[in-house]
Amino acid sequence: MRSVCQTASTTHARHLHAGVRWSLDLCRMSSAGSGSSLRVHAVRFGPGQELLGSLLAFVEERRLRAPFIITCVGSVTTATLRLANATATNPNEVMRLSGRFEIVSLVGTLGRGAHLHISLADAQGRTVGGHVLGDLKVFTTAEVVVGEATDLTFTRDMDQATGFPELVVKSRSPPEEGRE
């Protein structure tokens, strides 16, 4: 049995699922090669640490070139988020949170130009989320599992269509001398 990507290696795939026809346009996908091996890192951050900055330092120390969040649980007392209605011409739709919040989801890519989204739940279970700008101060803990696509590199280039630096995925060059 071939996967959707193999089946759709020309321009698109068409499928019938639950009576609904859909297609997957692969021409708009940014991808490199046929995949990558995975290296997994686990780290815990403690009370008072700023989560985004700590994650970026972790990535830099380990020289990870295609890092991403696999999962995260924990809590924060502050957060600064850009909301979904932000655009290139109006990027400052920002929410600043203060209180005690459970991290119910943290997803995205790390490295230069990190792109993370977070969902936080308050004491009543109400959730709020957005693009992480920073100021994620850990309350009790942040237990994070970081993956690295070892055969790839992530960079960001300005996308004229969105007005934001967007992810560019490239195959990694052979290992540099002295680097795994």
Question: Each residue of 65-123: pLDDT tens digit?
Answer: 999 999 999 999 999 999 887 776 776 789 999 999 999 999 999 988 899 999 999 99
The residue type of 37 is S
Length of the chain: 180
This prediction has a pTM of 0.75
**For range 128-148, the mean pLDDT:** 97
- Cβ-contact 77, 137 below 8 angstroms: yes
Given a contact cutoff of 8 angstroms between Cβ atoms, the answer to whether 130 and 84 are in contact is: yes
pLDDT tens profile 151-176? 998 999 998 888 888 999 899 866 55
Of 71, 59, 44, 30, give the one whose Cα is nearest residue 148: 59
- What's the pLDDT score for residue 138? 98
Q: CA–CA separation, 164 vs 60, rounded Å? A: 23
Q: Is the predicted pLDDT of residue 1 greater than 50, yes or no?
A: no
In the structure, what pLDDT confidence band is assigned to residue 149 with cuts at 50, 70 and 90? very high
Of 31, 28, 40, 29, whose CA–CA distance to 153 is shortest? 31
Nearest to 169 by CA among 32, 70, 38, 26: 32
**Secondary element (H or E) of residue 55:** helix 51-61
| Residue 26 phi, psi dihedral angles, 5° rounding | -85, -10
